[in-house]
Amino acid sequence: MKTIKVLPWLLAGSALFNVQAKPDLVKLMDLKPEYRTAVKSPWFYTEDQDVDFVMTYNGWDILKSERIRNRGISQKAKDMIIKAEKSIVASVFLFDNMYGSNQPEYNVVNDLTKLLIKKKKDNPDMNIVIILDPLNRAYSRRVSPSVQKFIDNGIDVFYTDMLSTKAATSVGLVETVGHVGRVADQMTAGLFGTISNGITSLLNIPGKKLDGHNIDFEVAFGAALMKANHRKILVTDVEGSDEFETLVTSANPHNASDDSTNTGLTVKGDLAKYVYGVLREDAAHSLRHQGNIPLAIGPKKYALLSEQNKEKYKLPGYKPKMLQKYMKEVLPAVDFDKLDTGHMSQKVKSRFVSEIEVKKEVIRLLENSSSDDIIRIQMFYLSDPDVVKTIEKVAKDPKRANNKVRLLLDPSKDAFNSIKDGTPNRQVAHYLMNLKKDLNIDIRWYSTHGEQNHAKIMSITNTENGKYEIITGSTNWTGKNMNNINMEANLTVVGSQRITDKFNNIFDRLWFNKDSGVLYTWDYSAYDLKTTRNLVEGYKVVEKWDERERKEWIQRHKKEIEAVFVRKNAQQVSALSIEQKQRWLDNKIAKDKSSVIRVMSYIVGSAVVGKKDSPKSRAKWEKKYMKKWTKGEKWGYVSW
């Protein structure tokens, strides 16, 4: 008996239903859906003064046991918002206090929320639109404090529809169920969703919470998609002109992420209008989906419009003419074909790429590099097999013996108040440094203390022939980020020595620990596989201890901990007297919680591993550990 494939018929029925029930909203709202995802802009030629590089990065003051912060991205974002006169559009993964267990030193969420609301109050005619990932509503009914303030003060908020992107896993079961539910929802004008969400919201998963909210089956379904609008983009008009400016970055305006290292590029001109047009398509996509379910009861899934605009455009009814009016006045269309791409006589050119086009761009830049080009890569997550193979191919060139590819990686150990096991970066680093032979590659780890090396950036430089290429944005170099699963955004800038040097100089400062008394990076051995095994096995034990048990263990093993700290920081503490050194150790143990947990895990793990260590057990552990990377990529489990 032949299996009947239900989903295509339901989708076709839904399309027919929508065509018969409503006029062509795509045409009516002046939309170009093909510009929403997987886009690659043409090259836009600009003057050097119209591009810039910004970075937020951290170091660790060894003697004071304190983090040193250098914030550049949030200040640039605030400057753009302050100077805007007509329009502000942002699309970000996290704009929230979510996951923030401690009071932040700098409350970036509160700061930007107040600034945006002030802009709207000072200029009520200004259009301000915020696009967020569904995680910000906890995949359900949560309305964050910032979002509530936005809609109370005339700022519209959209939540990206992630069901429409490629499935994170090869099975795609969650997407299939979601599409069936969406068809039913559209055919019943929202009543099916209202009923089903009402039922699933009552079925809580015992003992599980997300930011203090119960995890019900509706929340679990949204999370099970395992993908996100991971973009971090700001577009504003430029003061006193008709121009636009865009900031494309790796930084989330999110309190728990504020201490992390991030990078960004800015471009003025028609490329910024192009980026605005991409964001417009995403907001319109959400608005259309909300309009397809007018009878839905309760909080809106895709569009939370301000009271001001709901009244003005009668949008609770989502009438086609009102949707058309809203888009024309709040998010006016861009004619992509008439944008000014500049002239080739201008030496600097820029391009916007998203999703899989980022992957193609990275591979193109690497494959077109020569053995004389200096390649610097600073990355939060590196795991996409195609990109790893391309790096391997470039590093295999024997002419690179004295010009190694430099990779500055996050150790993959910290994630929102939790300790991770090093996946995927430590497996990939082991593959490149040990499993593959004769690669001209050097790897260092960012010395993180609870925060993350969250940058996703590469520069390729050759001063001899004037080659200056730089690419950065939201995209981790993983399969989930580079294959149309997550929504991502990057900028490439070519030809600007000024901004490429800005990054290169900071990268080299971090790489070589150039600032006296400040630790930025560790060499590869700090998180090689032998060390990682001890850390992972030790933390399995340590994480089960309560605070009292940890304190007691530290007291019993204080001399061992101190010996490790002195050995690791020998150069910095060598000039201290015995009394000064002891004060430094006492201060470090009291303040540097991240390092204490790491050393504790290492010491405990060394004892655990030592009891059962053998060539066979090492090989078995390594094989299992390496599979976490390869299988994670295959099944879509590598985190964003």
Task: Based on the fold, state whether residues 300 and 163 are members of the same structural domain.
Answer: yes
Task: Based on the fold, state whether residues 109 and 215 are members of the same structural domain.
Answer: yes
- Which pLDDT score, from 0 to 100, does residue 164 have? 82
Q: What is the mean pLDDT of residues 244-254?
A: 96
Q: Which of 328, 74, 292 is nearest to 191 (CA)?
A: 292
Q: Where do runs of H (alpha helix) occur along 569-614?
A: 570-573, 578-591, 593-612
Q: Is residue 9 part of a domain?
A: no
Both tokens assigned to 262:
């991030």
pTM of this structure: 0.91
Task: For residues 604 and 606, give the distance between their C-alpha atoms in angstroms, rounded to a whole number.
Answer: 5
Least confident among 2-6, 79-83, 391-395: 2-6
Exposure of 539 by Cβ count < 10 A (0-12 exposed, 13-18 middle, 19+ buried)? buried
- Which pLDDT score, from 0 to 100, does residue 226 have? 80
CA distances from 249 to 99, 264, 322, 520, 579 (A): 21, 4, 34, 21, 45
Give the other-Cβ count within 10 Å of 519's Cβ.
18
Q: Is residue 640 part of a domain?
A: no
Q: What is the mean pLDDT of residues 594-612?
A: 94
Q: Is the per-residue pLDDT at 367 higher than 90?
A: yes
- Which pLDDT score, from 0 to 100, does residue 294 have? 58
Least confident among 185-199, 275-289, 446-460: 185-199
Last residue of a domain, one of 330, 363, 379: 330
Q: Is residue 11 part of a domain?
A: no
Task: Based on the fold, state whether residues 172 and 318 are members of the same structural domain.
Answer: yes
Last residue of a domain, one of 505, 526, 547: 526
Q: Is the per-residue pLDDT at 469 higher than 50?
A: yes
Q: What is the mean pLDDT of residues 609-615?
A: 91
How, if at all, do strands 405-409 and 374-379 pair?
parallel
Exposure of 168 by Cβ count < 10 A (0-12 exposed, 13-18 middle, 19+ buried)? buried
Task: Based on the fold, state whether residues 90 and 237 are members of the same structural domain.
Answer: yes
- Which pLDDT score, from 0 to 100, does residue 191 have? 54
CA distances from 623 to 211, 451, 609 (A): 35, 29, 16
Both tokens assigned to 142:
């949560």
Least confident among 217-221, 355-359, 477-481: 217-221
Task: Based on the fold, state whether residues 326 and 384 are members of the same structural domain.
Answer: no
Q: What is the mean pLDDT of residues 338-362?
A: 97
Q: Is the per-residue pLDDT at 381 higher than 50?
A: yes
Q: Is residue 620 part of a domain?
A: yes
Yes or no: say if 77 and 234 are a contact pair by the CB < 8 Å rule.
Answer: yes
- Which pLDDT score, from 0 to 100, does residue 634 have? 82
Q: What is the mean pLDDT of residues 580-606?
A: 94
Task: Based on the fold, state whether residues 564 and 421 are members of the same structural domain.
Answer: no
Task: Based on the fold, state whether residues 48 and 174 are members of the same structural domain.
Answer: yes
Give the other-Cβ count within 10 Å of 21's Cβ.
11
Task: Based on the fold, state whether residues 253 and 307 are members of the same structural domain.
Answer: yes
CA distances from 561 to 63, 109, 342, 520, 565 (A): 16, 37, 60, 21, 6
- Which pLDDT score, from 0 to 100, does residue 21 have? 41
pLDDT in tens, 536-562: 999 999 999 999 999 999 999 999 999
Three-class SS string for 305-360? CCHHHHHHHCCCCCCHHHHHHHHHHHCCCCCHHHCCCCCCCCCEEEEEECCHHHHH
Place of tokens 């096995």: 537
Last residue of a domain, one of 297, 330, 363: 330
Task: For residues 357 and 364, give the distance between their C-alpha atoms in angstroms, rounded to a whole number.
Answer: 10
Q: What is the mean pLDDT of residues 392-409?
A: 98
Task: For residues 474 and 477, give the distance between their C-alpha atoms in angstroms, rounded to a whole number.
Answer: 10
Assign 322 a pLDDT band (cuts: 50, 70, 90): very high
C-alpha of 640 from chain center:
7
Least confident among 29-33, 48-52, 175-179, 526-530: 175-179
CATH number for the domain spanning 451: value is 3.30.870.10
Give the other-Cβ count within 10 Å of 547's Cβ.
7
Give the other-Cβ count within 10 Å of 365's Cβ.
20
Task: Based on the fold, state whether residues 506 and 573 are members of the same structural domain.
Answer: no
Yes or no: say if 472 and 491 are a contact pair by the CB < 8 Å rule.
Answer: yes
Mean pLDDT taken over the chain:
88
Task: For residues 391 and 385, give the distance between their C-alpha atoms in angstroms, rounded to a whole number.
Answer: 10
Task: For residues 113 and 96, give the distance between their C-alpha atoms in angstroms, rounded to a whole number.
Answer: 10
Both tokens assigned to 628:
């976490």
How, if at all, do strands 204-210 and 518-519 pair?
unpaired
In which domain, by residue range, is 317 found? 26-330
Assign 15 a pLDDT band (cuts: 50, 70, 90): very low
Q: Is the per-residue pLDDT at 19 higher than 50?
A: no
Task: For residues 178 and 226, give the distance between their C-alpha atoms in angstroms, rounded to a whole number.
Answer: 13
Enter the DSSP assignment of 431.
I
Q: Is residue 17 part of a domain?
A: no
Q: Is the per-residue pLDDT at 17 higher than 50?
A: no
**Amino acid identity of 154?**
G
Both tokens assigned to 461:
């430089």
- Which pLDDT score, from 0 to 100, does residue 141 have? 77
pLDDT in tens, 222-248: 666 789 999 999 999 999 999 999 999
Q: Is residue 125 part of a domain?
A: yes
Q: Is residue 7 part of a domain?
A: no
Enter the DSSP assignment of 46.
E
Count of residues making up the chain = 640
Least confident among 286-290, 327-331, 350-354, 444-448: 286-290
Yes or no: say if 168 and 482 are a contact pair by the CB < 8 Å rule.
Answer: no
Q: Is the per-residue pLDDT at 102 higher than 50?
A: yes
Exposure of 177 by Cβ count < 10 A (0-12 exposed, 13-18 middle, 19+ buried)? middle
Task: Based on the fold, state whether residues 492 and 606 are members of the same structural domain.
Answer: no
pLDDT in tens, 138-148: 887 788 999 99
- Which pLDDT score, from 0 to 100, does residue 16 have? 44
CA distances from 5 to 9, 11, 15 (A): 7, 11, 17
What spatial distance separates the first Cα and last Cα of the chain, rounded to whole Å?
42
- Which pLDDT score, from 0 to 100, does residue 209 have? 57
pLDDT in tens, 52-94: 999 999 999 999 999 999 989 999 999 999 999 999 999 999 9
Yes or no: say if 274 and 41 are a contact pair by the CB < 8 Å rule.
Answer: yes
- Which pLDDT score, from 0 to 100, does residue 3 have? 39
Least confident among 212-221, 492-501, 502-511: 212-221
- Which pLDDT score, from 0 to 100, does residue 624 have? 96
Q: Is the per-residue pLDDT at 211 higher than 60?
A: no
- Which pLDDT score, from 0 to 100, does residue 20 have? 39
Q: What is the mean pLDDT of residues 255-277?
A: 95
Enter the DSSP assignment of 433.
I
Both tokens assigned to 536:
């992972």
Radius of gyration of the chain (CA): 26
Assign 18 a pLDDT band (cuts: 50, 70, 90): very low
The domain tally of the chain equals 3
Q: Tell which wins on pLDDT, 95 or 294.
A: 95
- Which pLDDT score, from 0 to 100, does residue 201 have? 55
Helices (H) and strands (E) counted in the chain, each on its own, are: 23, 21
pLDDT in tens, 158-205: 999 998 888 776 655 555 555 455 555 555 555 555 555 555 555 555
- Which pLDDT score, from 0 to 100, does residue 451 have? 92
Assign 47 a pLDDT band (cuts: 50, 70, 90): very high
Let me know the angle formed at the C-alpha of 481 by 477 and 484, rounded to the nearest 5 degrees.
135
Yes or no: say if 286 and 303 are a contact pair by the CB < 8 Å rule.
Answer: yes
Both tokens assigned to 236:
């504003």
Task: Based on the fold, state whether residues 545 and 519 are members of the same structural domain.
Answer: no
Q: What is the mean pLDDT of residues 502-521?
A: 97
- Which pLDDT score, from 0 to 100, does residue 570 have? 86
Task: Based on the fold, state whether residues 494 and 614 are members of the same structural domain.
Answer: no
Q: Is residue 428 part of a domain?
A: yes
**Amino acid identity of 417?**
N
Task: For residues 411 and 529, give the distance between their C-alpha atoms in angstroms, rounded to a whole number.
Answer: 12
Q: Is cis: bond before 33, omega within 30 of 0?
A: no
Both tokens assigned to 506:
């900071």
